[in-house]
Structure 1
Amino acid sequence: METTQPKARHRRRRLGLTVSIPLVTATAVGMSYGGAFGVFGEAARPKAAAATTGPAWAREVADGFASVNALGQKGTYGGRDGAIVTVKTLAHLEKYATAPQPYVIVVAGTITMNPKGKEIAVASDKTIVGAGTSGHIVGGGFFLGQGVHNVIIRNLTIRDSYAGTWNDKDHDWDAIQMDGAHHVWIDHNNLRNMADGLIDSRKDTTYVTVSWNQLKNENKAFGIGWTDHVTADITIHHNWFHETEQRNPSTDNVAHAHLYNNFLQDDPDSSITSSYGNYARGGTKMVLENSYFEGINNPVIKDGTAALVQRGNVFVDTTGRNESGGTAFDPTTYYRYTLDAAADVPSKVKSGAGPRPAIGRAATTPSATAATTLTVAKDGSGTYKTVQAAVDAVPVGNPSRLVISVKPGTYRETVDVPASKPHITIQGSGASRKDTVIVYGNAAGTRKPDGSGTYGTPGSATVAVRSDDSQLRNLSVSNDFDEAANQSLNGHQAVALLTAADRIVLDGVIVTGDQDTLEMETAAPDKPGRVYVTNSYVVGNVDFIFGRATAVIDQSVITLKKRWNGTSAGYITAPSTPAGRNGILINRSTVNGDVAASSFHLGRNWHPGGDKTTDPQATVRNSHLSAAIKGTPWADMGGFAWKDDRFAEYMNTGPGAGPKSTERPHLTDAQAASHEVSHWLGGWTP
């Protein structure tokens, strides 16, 4: 691709019916890398799998007050002792959620409540979990009644029962409502746009832990109380309250309320203005530790009858009441916990809260579990000394998952995974993705050693993955071509990683280069090519995320890099999407880098060879954009007008975000609903 030289505007916020999902920052927390898990059929029977022998996430138990042994219940472990079943319809979800037996219920897809506002009455001993990021409950939620206990609601997106009235007093439609339940764990959910509230913990509900959730775009976020008794015990930690007006939470007559490491954020100049943050009412005793409040009005308030102890909290651009007083309690009397530094809370919570790709994946079959592993170590301690040698050893037509485990070290080589060898995972075995590095320095204009010409852009790749269902995990791939030293060379495009296949997963990787860092193609123009990139870093300066594949960059960091001569100018994306297909989706991610303000475009439209049938598409949504992004973020390329193609934003934040204009298209809420990850990948759940 040709290079051309390329003012940030204040971010805009508006009330919408589909709201932001978390972004990832450079200090992302550790995430599970997960495996290539399958899912059980929708009508799986209890004998399908016992969660006691299933995947690790199905055996995980609650922390905080939900972990305390009380009321005849020993902690909170949900349906761990029952079968794992996968549901895709409302009828099946309700069937298993209301059953008397324990179940781990995996929601694999979008389930719409009928009628709108319906709340399924969940029975005891249940885990309801989304399959990766695909589990959505739309237009309703869950109800836990008197005496219901040992319930886990996890890794779901529950959204959109909103009925058009902001302070809705006519529809009691919550995401999760609990009336007299106990031992409940609400974890890693995205809750947004409900008619009444997101979470209600009422009528002496107790021994509850609410952790690592996103509570978004709501009038009443999280209410606790509706009782004259002072008996409830609740732990609330590592949640992101973002653009929620009140009840963040409001705790009324709570015996022990332990709130720590939460992030409360109200964006300036948005349609939603916070009324208050954390509120201790009535006889509540609250301990509030190492939380971060940004832009919140009345961040911490208490009644004269409540006790509220604050320790280590951070307040940025807050106004109004900030109160404490009285004697509360010592949480360590009840359970152990570890505090994160308050200054780290925004980055950790933004990157870690909400549904995780590795949670909710059903267990593999015994044959798949016993995947073949080939070991690579440059010091000779493995079976092979180079990654390519291990790839060469994989049999043609490889029928099941095969892992090439690469020990820490720097491997200066090129790697080509041919189309004839599917189901390969190349995975670094070090503690960090930085420990295992595959690097080379070819460029498009570099001449081949055999004298047969130059490599061209795809041929310059350090690593090329051409086989379906293949993966890269926990390693770095780099192209270190030296532009400054090769100014006379014609063709500075230098690909670090090329994918040219379908169902490719890049998880926990760093991909670095300058121009054309990450090229995502298909095996042929008429073939599909889907790529899912998560928990990763992509670094470059010109067209460095590009190609015709359908690609999702999710919960990752995109780092902008100066040009070889120290100037700041470039383009993040250059899609060449075929008509009728999805292009590049950047979702829940962060754009950063040490470059000049207003110097980078979000992308430009690539029509290879002047192909008029190409219909490039890029969407950037729910992401944090640094000041480096131009106020007019899209650019023409090769004589084609970007406005004739498909470029849009939705609900971005940060100094590089900007309001809707003719030069900056924004999706409507209705349009955004079809720009979710699950829609983009077309039935494939990576």
Structure 2
Amino acid sequence: MRIFLALTTVLSVVGGAAPEGGSRGVDVQLYPTNGRQNVNPDAQLKLTFSSPPAIGSSGKINVYDSEDNKLVDTLDFSIPFSPSPYGNGSTKANYTDTTKYQTNIIGGLDFYFYPIIVRNNTATIYLHNNKLTYGRTYLVEIEPSVLKPARGSFSGFTLDRPWRFSTKVRGPRDGATKVVVAADGSGDFNTVQGAIDWAPANPTKHTTIYIKNGNYEELVFWQYKTNLVIRGQDREKTIVGYPNNSAFNPPNRQGPSRRPAFSFRGSSDLQLSSFTINNYYPGQAEALLVDGVRTILDHMTLNGAGDALTTYGTTYVTDSKLTGTGDTVLGYGSVYWLRSRIESIGPVTWTRTVQGIHGNVFVDSTIIGLEGNSTLARLPDNSGGVMDNWPYAEMVLISTKTGGISAEGWGPVQGPPFDSSHVRFWEFNTMDLQGLPIDISQRLNVSRELTLPKDRKILAEYKDPANILGGWRPVVLTA
């Protein structure tokens, strides 16, 4: 089951600091420590107190280059974070809204973001991406009004008494094909996004980003990269996530969706292996949005809400798990699922495949309706849309175990009459969780049961990933 956090405790947006050791009235530990050398430029700044700090509504955090005191970055806490700062407002874009919100450019796209997130007693400062560089010494100034500690006073940092650290002289060597991400600073990068920003766009060999165990709370997005492998140290202990949804980051007039925790577009020959991606907000909130060709998801865990996984292009999913809260797979692309598991509150998929491509094909997998009355796929009323009812929607189950699925299995299929003869809601050898055949006598009439020997040729075609994925034969790269 995906993790839901109460909106009142999910986030505190705070600021503030004091010299390490509490010499100005409150005990605080700093990362990086005051005066530290060899810091990665993408490091998030952390302050750990004896109790959770409270939110300030004004003040600034400024970062200066020590050589000439030039301002490098600033976070102004009088600027609101989002039209819906707790992700619980309107999911529609208001294009007449001229308010300035906290904005970070990530992978070339503008996102609303939290400049500080508090978890337990630690306040993590998120500077704007790519503002710091190698071989520099930085001075951090934090105005007192940014933070209200639970106990004691906190005077902040000034340029006369700054928080000081120095970055590494240089980054990974030219031509490197593997880098390490470690939240404690022991790797080449502290953040997943930092490593992705470094990765070459079109290398001749695969570039591997290895993520050490840890909790990486960050928005991740990139565009137009190829031959990239992102691999976690341990699937359950390497966690990348962020609180985001269509209310916190509503749509732009143009450009990709901004509501996923982790997303990419225009990429090819990508593999994600052995880590967890969480979206901590409800609503329309993908854990992952895939937009590319020849994408592999291998031994992944994805925890989202509505549209928990959105797919475009061609994707091969093996030995992975997805959890969501309805339309859990929003499928525009061709996806071959092998030995994978989906747990869904409400409809498992809304498949939007168009004529000429395949949709979601599940082989030797498991599908669970968490509230006991889910359906496998739905086609809601889209009257007036370009693709009313998606008449070429496809979802095929082959030797898949199910539980918590309604007797009708599929649907609802709504709206005005349309030609459903091209809809492929098919299943073969559907079983219960104990591996016993289920009764499909009440299935929706749009669906079809495949049988032997009649459908032997169809089954052979659908068991072969290359037939589903446009001729691509996926090869999962191992460590």
- Taking structure 2 as the reference length, what is the TM-score of the superposition? 0.55
Contact (CA 8 Å) 2:210, 2:230: kept in 1 or not?
Answer: yes
Structure with the higher helix share, 1 or 2: 1
Match of 2:363 in 1: 587
Contact (CA 8 Å) 1:575, 1:584: kept in 2 or not?
Answer: yes
Structure 2 CA distance for aligned equivalents of residues 511 and 557 of structure 1? 10
**CA distance 1:632–1:428, change in 2 (3 Å):** closer
Q: Alpha-carbon deviations, 1:325-369, whole Å to 9, x = none?
A: xxxxxxxxxxxxxxxxxxxxxxxxxxxxxxxxxxxxxxxxxxxxx
Task: Please give the secondary structure, in 2, of the residue aligned with 1:389.
Answer: helix
**CA distance 1:444–1:609, change in 2 (3 Å):** farther
Shift of 1:652: 0.9
Structure 2 CA distance for aligned equivalents of residues 438 and 639 of structure 1? 43
Contact (CA 8 Å) 2:375, 2:406: kept in 1 or not?
Answer: yes
Match of 2:219 in 1: 414
Match of 1:504 in 2: 295
Match of 2:307 in 1: 516
The root-mean-square deviation of aligned C-alpha atoms, in Å, is 2.7
**CA distance 1:611–1:594, change in 2 (3 Å):** closer
- In the alignment, which of 238, 253, 262 is matched to residue 436 of structure 1? 238
**CA distance 1:680–1:388, change in 2 (3 Å):** same
Work out whether 1:672 is the aligned partner of 2:477. Answer: no
Q: Alpha-carbon deviations, 1:38-93, whole Å to 9, x = none?
A: xxxxxxxxxxxxxxxxxxxxxxxxxxxxxxxxxxxxxxxxxxxxxxxxxxxxxxxx
Contact (CA 8 Å) 1:627, 1:654: kept in 2 or not?
Answer: no
Q: Which runs of 5+ in 2 are unaligned?
A: 1-174, 475-479
Match of 1:541 in 2: 325
Larger radius of gyration: 1
**CA distance 1:517–1:639, change in 2 (3 Å):** farther
Structure 2 CA distance for aligned equivalents of residues 394 and 373 of structure 1? 9
Contact (CA 8 Å) 1:443, 1:457: kept in 2 or not?
Answer: no
Work out whether 1:402 is the aligned partner of 2:173. Answer: no
Match of 2:377 in 1: 603
Structure 1 CA distance for aligned equivalents of residues 239 and 199 of structure 2? 21
The one-letter code sitting in structure 2 at the alignment partner of 1:652 is T
Match of 1:464 in 2: 263
Q: Alpha-carbon deviations, 1:452-489, whole Å to 9, x = none?
A: 959998321111132100010000111110x4xxxxxx
The one-letter code sitting in structure 2 at the alignment partner of 1:461 is P
Structure 2 CA distance for aligned equivalents of residues 455 and 435 of structure 1? 36
Structure 1 CA distance for aligned equivalents of residues 191 and 322 of structure 2? 24
Work out whether 1:659 is the aligned partner of 2:458. Answer: no
Match of 1:631 in 2: 408
Contact (CA 8 Å) 2:245, 2:259: kept in 1 or not?
Answer: yes
**CA distance 1:579–1:413, change in 2 (3 Å):** same
Structure 2 CA distance for aligned equivalents of residues 611 and 500 of structure 1? 20
Match of 1:423 in 2: 227
Match of 1:649 in 2: 427
Shift of 1:553: 1.4
Work out whether 1:494 is the aligned partner of 2:285. Answer: yes
Shift of 1:505: 0.2
Contact (CA 8 Å) 1:371, 1:403: kept in 2 or not?
Answer: no
Work out whether 1:619 is the aligned partner of 2:396. Answer: yes
- Taking structure 1 as the reference length, what is the TM-score of the superposition? 0.39
Q: Which runs of 5+ in 1 are unaligned?
A: 1-369, 484-491, 522-528, 562-569
- In the alignment, which of 470, 473, 479 is matched to residue 685 of structure 1? 473
The one-letter code sitting in structure 2 at the alignment partner of 1:617 is E
**CA distance 1:437–1:403, change in 2 (3 Å):** same
The one-letter code sitting in structure 2 at the alignment partner of 1:591 is I
**CA distance 1:381–1:418, change in 2 (3 Å):** same
Contact (CA 8 Å) 2:371, 2:404: kept in 1 or not?
Answer: no
Work out whether 1:375 is the aligned partner of 2:153. Answer: no
**CA distance 1:590–1:409, change in 2 (3 Å):** same
Match of 1:532 in 2: 316
Task: Please give the secondary structure, in 1, of the residue aligned with 2:349.
Answer: strand
Q: Alpha-carbon deviations, 1:179-201, whole Å to 9, x = none?
A: xxxxxxxxxxxxxxxxxxxxxxx
Q: Alpha-carbon deviations, 1:415-459, whole Å to 9, x = none?
A: 11311x2011111013xx1111111121112246xxx95999832
The one-letter code sitting in structure 1 at the alignment partner of 2:276 is S
Shift of 1:591: 1.8
Task: Please give the secondary structure, in 2, of the residue aligned with 1:391.
Answer: helix
Match of 1:268 in 2: none
Contact (CA 8 Å) 1:635, 1:642: kept in 2 or not?
Answer: no
Match of 1:560 in 2: 344
Shift of 1:375: 0.7
The structure whose RCO (Cα within 8 Å, separation 6+) is larger is: 1
Q: Alpha-carbon deviations, 1:584-637, whole Å to 9, x = none?
A: 1111111235423xx100011376944257621111121011143443423225
Contact (CA 8 Å) 1:477, 1:510: kept in 2 or not?
Answer: yes
Match of 2:350 in 1: 574
The one-letter code sitting in structure 2 at the alignment partner of 1:673 is A
Structure 1 CA distance for aligned equivalents of residues 398 and 176 of structure 2? 36
